[in-house]
Homo-oligomer: A and B are copies of this chain.
């Protein structure tokens, strides 16, 4: 007998029929003797419907009232799923975030879980009940309903799994696992049997939107075994494991696990800026003040004189505002500098714990891209990731070439399946 926390997203509970299908799936695990906690999101479309109602009334609703409003979405789903389980003869009880005792801070619309009270949950589980919990929501110490932000149901699932010391947290979604890269761009993308938390974090933050990054962080921090599976077809999915010890790496460990990419960034460069102390913070300070997030940062000292070149990327949506801040505030404050910008770029990243112990990943990556006549505009590296910025038009070509070169392609036998 195992204890599973199973999380079903909005698409998986998006209709009466799908809720019934989820109940069937839960019943199969229950019939096998397992204890089950189910975490559900709002039915797909419902949260947007509620947000739309709010926007017709007040273009700047207070976060507290938004949480009060949108938290009804999951409350509808938990009651409907409990009813569907009852219909199948499965004992089940639904709980809102507040009822289950998911205590959060008071940061409405982006609250963080502080603790979960598990006594009642455990009593229900020991009593043979399936416990159905509203994802995405909690309650602060004053009894106000809070939400964890969109997609926060994953976090609820992992946090419950950690608090209950569950055997596995299963995240059911509309894909059947984590892939080496996006199958829509590279038809030879393969589903990974497993991936480390660290790799998953790099992939998630780089645009593979299978799981919420906070949920993965949580899973790593509390050592929760996390599995991504399809709601709609049976299969093993992808297990997200705690970092394996390097010593245990097998020889067959691939150099890299996946390739992430995004065309949603823009690049800005300040050339010939006076190289005064603290220049980086004087450039990025006004940008942070405007709540613009900076991703890649590269700084070079110019070959001649006390000048420096400073390049960074931001989300495409922030490009124009960032240009304006640099032109109007930063350059005058620094006393000089020449501004360049480019929003026709793409970022392509190789991710893999395997590259830790292997030199030469970067040089191989650069050679593969050179062979395709793709110019590299910018490079940044971490222990398990190498990212390059290239022209946007080359993004898909780069992904496919790298996927093949690093041995990630499905074999022909797999491809025919």
Contacts and interface: CB of A to CB of B under 8 A. Distances in A.
Nearest to A20: B57
A405 B96 CA distance: 58
Contact of A61 (B20, B66, B86): B86
A390 B75 CA distance: 49
Given A57-B84, A62-B83, A64-B93, 15 more contacts: A16-B57, A54-B80, A54-B83, A57-B87, A58-B86, A65-B79, A65-B82, A65-B94, A66-B79, A68-B96, A69-B76, A69-B80, A71-B75, A72-B75, A98-B98
A278 interface: no
Contacts of A94: 65, 68
A79 B86 CA distance: 31
Q: Taking chain A's interface residues, is the majority helix, strand, or loop, or is none over half, making it mixed?
A: helix
Among the interface residues A53, A65, A78, A86, which one has the most CB atoms of the partner chain B within 10 A? A65
Contacts of A143: 99
Interface of A: 16, 19-20, 50, 53-54, 56-58, 61-62, 64-66, 68-69, 71-72, 75-76, 78-80, 82-84, 86-87, 93-94, 96, 98-99, 143-145
16 contacts: A20-B57, A50-B76, A53-B80, A54-B79, A57-B80, A57-B83, A61-B86, A62-B82, A62-B83, A65-B83, A66-B79, A68-B82, A68-B94, A69-B76, A72-B72, A99-B143
Contacts of A56: 16
Given A65-B94, A94-B68, A58 B75 contact: no
A86 B63 CA distance: 12
Contact of A69 (B50, B53, B57, B79): B79
**Which are the 3 A-B pairs with shortest beta-carbon distances?**
A69-B79, A72-B72, A68-B79
A68 B58 contact: no
Contacts of A78: 68
A86 B99 contact: no
Contacts of A79: 54, 65-66, 68-69
Contacts of A80: 53-54, 57, 69
Contacts of A144: 99
A383 B406 CA distance: 94
Contacts of A53: 16, 76, 80
Contacts of A145: 96, 99
